[in-house]
């Protein structure tokens, strides 16, 4: 079982306004909106490399598409399964933010895991309304403070 995860908040600036990328999980995987996230695998030699892998897998974002990286946005622990709410061994989650070119086209159809069925660019306020998990909201608030 994974003990470490990463969360990648992808954002862009259009017309002096920041927008944040949200992906909607399939109904059988919870059906909620979230940023890009995933487990750190044994082949990842660092947290940032795990983040780059997840960005590529879930939204086809490559290193060359990233304008800015902000590390150490937030850190939290998870001890309940996101669907069943049963107790699980503690998972540590580290949050990074990635600014991408506002004209970059996000695609989720190449993800082999097929976790998400919808994408959306949302304002900070709308992101907070759409996000399900409190720790995701805290991370977005911390990032927004850094950006404004």
- Are 98 and 56 in contact by the 8 Å Cβ rule? The answer is no
Look at residue 130 and give its three-state secondary structure: helix
Q: What CATH number does residue 95 fall under?
A: 3.90.79.10
| Domain span including residue 50 | 4-147
Residues of the chain with pLDDT under 50: none
Query: CA-to-CA distance for 29 and 44, rounded, in angstroms?
Result: 24
Task: Provide, rounded to the nearest whole percent, the portion of the chain with pLDDT above 90.
Answer: 59
Which token pair is 4?
A: 């470490």
Total domains present in the chain:
1
Q: What is the pLDDT of residues 51-80, one digit of tens each?
A: 999 999 999 999 999 999 999 898 888 887
Residue 54 contacts residue 10 (beta carbons within 8 Å): no
The whole-model pTM stands at 0.91
Nearest residue to 71 via CA among 40, 36, 96, 46:
96
């Amino acid at each position: 079982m994974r003990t470490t995860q990463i969360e990648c908040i992808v954002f862009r600036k259009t017309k002096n306004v920041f927008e944040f990328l949200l992906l909607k999980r399939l109904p059988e995987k919870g059906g909620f909106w979230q940023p890009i996230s995933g487990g750190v695998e044994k082949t990842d030699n660092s947290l940032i490399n795990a983040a780059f892998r997840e960005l590529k897998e879930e939204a086809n974002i490559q290193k060359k598409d990233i304008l800015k990286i902000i590390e150490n946005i937030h850190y939290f622990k998870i001890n309940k399964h996101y669907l069943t709410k049963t107790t699980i061994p503690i998972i540590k989650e580290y949050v990074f933010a990635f600014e991408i070119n506002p004209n970059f086209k996000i695609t989720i159809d190449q993800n082999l895991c097929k976790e998400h069925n919808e994408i959306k660019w949302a304002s900070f306020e709308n992101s907070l309304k759409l996000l399900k998990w409190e720790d995701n909201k805290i991370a977005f608030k911390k990032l927004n403070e850094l950006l404004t």
